[in-house]
Amino acid sequence: MISRMEPDALKQFIRDYMDNRIFTSADIRSRDEEGWARDMGMVFMPVMFGCLHVTIEVPEPPDDVPEDMTVEEWEVMRAEYPRKLELAKKAEDMAFKALTAELGVVWSYMKDALPRGVNGYPMFMSCSLMHKDDWEAAVKVFNKTRAALNEALDEGDEALV
């Protein structure tokens, strides 16, 4: 359900992230899971408003028999309504689990941040979702880059001159 990034787009994401042009859900640091989830929704407003949740509408049966329906059809519709609601809820839960199983991070460009922040974090009215495999590939590059930087700095003061 979450599309994979093209290699060039992933490379650009990595460059932009390393240049601090991108903020991700992985950058949110909270003491506990509940605090992280709260901050996540306040930072990425679409998450708070339900962008990760699929909603399946089940039309409520009318109170009176419509002209284009027999009494028997109407009674069946009213009797089946609770079961349809239950099935819709199960389908919504399955869709949410499938989506979040593929989710690596939620992210946005810092240039799109609102003028205000929350709890020391930027706030965004739009965001993108990254597939977990793309995020894992990006993290590998981040770790290699950090290791190369640490190695260069550990060479001693002559590396700084």
Q: Which residues lie closer than 8 Å to 2 by C-beta, 6 or more apart?
A: 99, 102, 103, 129, 130, 131
Q: How confident is the model at residue 157 (pLDDT cuts 50, 70, 90)?
A: low
| Total structural domains within the chain | 1
Tell me the residue type at 45. M
Dist. CA 140–CA 146, nearest whole Å: 10
Mean pLDDT of the chain: 93
Q: Which residues lie closer than 8 Å to 51 by C-beta, 6 or more apart?
A: 127
Residue 159 resides in a domain: no
Q: How confident is the model at residue 30 (pLDDT cuts 50, 70, 90)?
A: confident
Residue 45 resides in a domain: yes
Residue 157 resides in a domain: no
C-alpha 92: how far from chain center: 16
Please say whether the beta carbons of 43 and 114 come within 8 A. no
Helices 132-154/7-18 angle, 10° precision: 50
Please say whether the beta carbons of 36 and 106 come within 8 A. no
Dist. CA 64–CA 98, nearest whole Å: 39
Q: What is the CA radius of gyration of the chain?
A: 24
**What tens digit of pLDDT does each residue of 57-109 get?**
998 999 999 999 999 999 999 999 999 999 999 999 999 999 899 999 999 99
Residue 158 resides in a domain: no
Predicted local confidence at residue 75, as pLDDT = 92
Residue 23 resides in a domain: yes
Residue 2 resides in a domain: no
Looking at the predicted structure, is the pLDDT value of residue 31 above 90? no
Residue 96 tokens, joined: 């949410």
Domain range holding 41?
7-148
Looking at the predicted structure, is the pLDDT value of residue 161 above 70? no
Mean pLDDT to the nearest integer, 17-31 = 95
Residue 154 resides in a domain: no
Could you count the other beta carbons within 10 Å of the beta carbon of residue 43? 26
Residue 36 resides in a domain: yes
